[in-house]
Amino acid sequence: DTGVSQDPRHKITKRGQNVTFRCDPISEHNRLYWYRQTLGQGPEFLTYFQNEAQLEKSRLLSDRFSAERPKGSFSTLEIQRTEQGDSAMYLCASSSQGATYNSPLHFGNGTRLTVT
């Protein structure tokens, strides 16, 4: 169990640029989640995959955001035409059977995005 890995740890970009983040979940976990956290707030749910299927998306995930998990292993989160309001910590988590089956979530250390 090597834990959930996220890359990069930090990303600084100019407004209007596109950015992509990667998440590698714990290898035997088939559930993968993306959350966003701003300073002083708790994480907010963005989207959820079971294997390669994206089963749930938050209304926070505007059309500038897209997430994929092409082979049911790693996942990418892309933000197009970044805005200053996108500045946040983007957290990835995985679990073996999901929240509804009482499996705890294991989080990565996040990607800190700063849009200037």
Residue 74 is a binding residue for other proteins (CB under 8 A): no
| Alpha-carbon span 51 to 36, nearest angstrom | 21
Min dist. Cβ of residue 77 to other proteins (A):
15
Distance of CA 7 to the CA centre of its chain: 11
Q: Nearest Cα to 42, choosing from 111, 101, 91? A: 91
| Alpha-carbon span 52 to 16, nearest angstrom | 29
Instruction: Closer to other proteins by CB, 44 or 83: give it.
Output: 44
Among 43, 67, 75, 82, binds other proteins (CB under 8 A): 43
Footprint on residues 18-37 left by other proteins (CB under 8 A): 31, 33
Instruction: Closer to other proteins by CB, 58 or 66: give it.
Output: 58
Among 41, 62, 96, 116, binds other proteins (CB under 8 A): 41
Q: Nearest Cα to 27, choosing from 97, 94, 98? A: 94
